[in-house]
C-alpha cells in the first residue's frame, strides 16, 4: 500500500505517504469501518526505515508460503511503535 501511494503521489518520503494514508483512514465513517480499535495517529510511528528484503526470517516466511515474487516487489519495513521495534514486509 505504501509503495502504491508513493508512486501515485510521486513522493519518496515514507512519512509523507503514511500521513496521506492516515488522513484517508480518518475520513472513513464509523458505520463503514471494519476495525474495532481506535485509529492511531501517525505520531505513533517513529524511526521508519525501508530496506531491501534481506532478513532471513521474513524470507523464510515468504518461501514457506510459496510467495516467490516477494524478492522483486517487497521491502523490509522497520519502525518503532510505542517504544517497540517492529519488522514487517511491504
Per-residue pLDDT reduced to its tens digit, 20-53: 777 654 443 444 444 555 555 556 778 888 888 8
Range of the domain at 82: 2-89
Residues of the chain with pLDDT > 90: what percent?
Answer: 0
Mean pLDDT of 4-28: 70
Give the number of C-alpha atoms closer than 13 A to the C-alpha of residue 46, restricted to the C-beta side.
7
Per the structure, the count of domains in the chain is 1
Note the pLDDT of residue 89: 80
Q: What is the pTM of this model?
A: 0.47
Calculate mean pLDDT across residues 73-81: 85
Question: From residue 51, how far is each of 34, 38, 71, 82, 89 by CA, in Å?
Answer: 30, 29, 12, 21, 9
Amino acid at each position: 500500500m505504501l509503495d502504491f501511494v508513493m508512486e501515485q503521489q510521486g513522493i519518496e518520503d515514507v512519512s509523507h505517504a503514511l500521513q496521506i494514508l492516515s488522513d484517508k483512514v480518518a475520513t472513513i465513517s464509523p458505520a463503514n469501518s471494519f476495525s474495532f480499535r481506535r485509529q492511531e495517529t501517525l505520531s505513533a510511528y517513529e524511526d521508519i526505515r525501508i530496506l531491501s528484503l534481506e532478513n532471513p526470517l521474513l524470507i523464510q516466511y515468504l518461501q514457506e508460503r510459496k510467495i516467490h515474487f516477494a524478492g522483486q516487489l517487497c521491502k523490509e519495513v522497520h519502525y518503532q511503535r510505542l517504544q517497540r521495534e517492529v519488522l514487517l514486509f511491504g
